[in-house]
Structure 1
Amino acid sequence: MQDLRAELSEILDEAEWEWLIPHVKRDVVIFVTENLDLLDVGVAFAHDDTLSVQDWISKQQLHKPLPEQLTAWNGDKTIRFQALIVQPYILVKELARA
């Protein structure tokens, strides 16, 4: 598991909202709330850890982008995200604004 976490940390990157729009349209972007570690979520997805994923979904810590989020992100071209690709999904977490 440590090797997978290390592999995922190497592909963890930042993304601009505009880069994510085509993937949102394909319905593959998953929003991760600030209280979860993006690498922990990525490892759970990669290992098909449905118990953890379902728990996070039930606590609304993981979800598809909400309409109000999409509206806010479409209106702010400076917004950036931490992004992690775990096929077929792109996990994103909004970065704190400066």
Structure 2
Amino acid sequence: MSDLRAELTEILDEAEWEWLIPHVQRDAVILVALELNLVDVGVAIASDNIPSVEQWIDQQLIAKPTIVQVGEWNGERTKRFNTLIVQPYVLAQEIVAA
């Protein structure tokens, strides 16, 4: 498991909203709440940790982007996200300006 965590940590990256649009169009983007660690979520999804993933979904801590969010971000295409690819998904977490 630590190898998976190390691998995912290594591919953690930043992306602008515009770069995520094609993945949203193919329904592959999962938004991760700020209170969760993006790598922890990636490890849970990659290792089929169903209880954790279901709990996060139930608590609305991970979800597909809403039409409202997509509309807002389409007007702000340079908005940045931390991203992690866990095939076939792209996990994205908003970077909030300080």
Q: Does the alignment reach a TM-score above 0.5?
A: yes
Aligned equivalent of 2:43: 43
Per-residue CA distance 1:8-45 (angstroms, 9 max, x = gap): 00000000101000000000000001110000000001
1:16 paired to 2:16:
yes
> Structure 1 length as normaliser, TM-score?
0.96
Using the TM superposition, give the Cα deviation of residue 68 of structure 1 relative to its aligned residue in structure 2, in angstroms.
1.4
Report the number of matched residues.
98
Contact 2:80–2:95 (CA<8 Å) still a contact in 1?
Answer: yes
Contact 2:33–2:93 (CA<8 Å) still a contact in 1?
Answer: yes
Contact 1:17–1:73 (CA<8 Å) still a contact in 2?
Answer: yes
Q: Percent identity among equivalent residues?
A: 60
Aligned equivalent of 1:71: 71
> Structure 2 length as normaliser, TM-score?
0.96
Query: Mean alpha-carbon deviation: is it higher for 64-73 or for 38-47?
Result: 64-73
Contact 2:30–2:91 (CA<8 Å) still a contact in 1?
Answer: yes
The separation in 1 between residues aligned to 2:87 and 2:73, in whole angstroms, is 23
Aligned equivalent of 2:29: 29
Aligned equivalent of 1:92: 92
Superposition CA RMSD, Å: 0.8
Aligned equivalent of 2:5: 5
The separation in 2 between residues aligned to 1:40 and 1:79, in whole angstroms, is 23
Per-residue CA distance 1:66-90 (angstroms, 9 max, x = gap): 1111111111123100000000000
Segments of 5+ residues of structure 1 without an aligned counterpart are: none
Contact 1:17–1:77 (CA<8 Å) still a contact in 2?
Answer: yes
Segments of 5+ residues of structure 2 without an aligned counterpart are: none
Aligned equivalent of 1:55: 55
The letter of the residue matching 2:8 is: L
